A and B are shown apart, each in its own frame.
Chain A
Amino acid sequence: EVQLVESGGGLVQPGRSLRLSCAAAGFTLGDFAMHWVRQAPGKGLEWVSGINWNSDNVDSADSVKGRFTISRDNAKNSLYLQMNSLSTEDTALYYCVKASTYSTSSGLFDFWGQGTLVTVSS
């Protein structure tokens, strides 16, 4: 059974940093691309960032480009999101999402974690 468990969320002040982690189980992480998708309270889904199976292709939404960095450690079955220069607009539930293929340029988001809440407030 595929399991994705996010951690690292919490309350953080504007301008500070936070690192999210996602522990994957039930499948071989190195065979699939992975993504982070967020959802602000009461709002819709927003794709944040994606990384292909071997980290060769990485990209992010314009709203976080230059501030957020996605990375992975296939040997540790883990996905990460380093978030710097956080603003109140980054307040959201962050989902770790498995892709259906090894590439970030195809497929779909077939398994989702339960999310970790990031609240940016002074």
Chain B
Amino acid sequence: QSALTQPRSVSGSPGQSVTISCTGTSSDVGGYKYVSWYQQHPGKAPKFMIYDVSKRPSGVPDRFSGSKSGNTASLTISGLQAEDESDYYCCSYAGSYTWVFGGGTKLTVL
């Protein structure tokens, strides 16, 4: 049950696009469709942004999108806005009723 690998930080200017990667193995990210992404503002509980790799719940802007290739999932945020500055975590089902999170990525909007 090793944590998924995310970059510790990414940054971008307003209006730009950024992509956050989430690398696991064939036993988690690569093996299942249950990859989700969570946004966490300081002092707040996480909020889910993407589920089942690329599905977006109602209320989440279409600027947020998800994808997966092999053992790596990605979250792309286009048209960056100041309110997107936050911590982002990926999460994957890892088999045998267990789950694993990524280490988290701090997004800075310059």
Contact = CB atoms under 8 A, between A and B. Distances in A.
B51 interface: yes
A95 interface: yes
B34 A108 contact: yes
Interface stretch (B9-17, B18-26, B74-82, B92-100): B92-100
A61 B1 contact: yes
A105 B97 contact: yes
A45 B89 contact: yes
A109 interface: yes
Given A44-B102, A45-B101, A57-B97, A109 B89 contact: no
Contacts of B85: none
Contacts of A58: 97
Interface of B: 1, 3, 34, 36, 38, 40, 45-48, 51-52, 57, 89, 91, 93, 96-104
Interface of A: 35, 37, 44-47, 50, 52, 57-59, 61-63, 95, 100, 104-110, 112-115
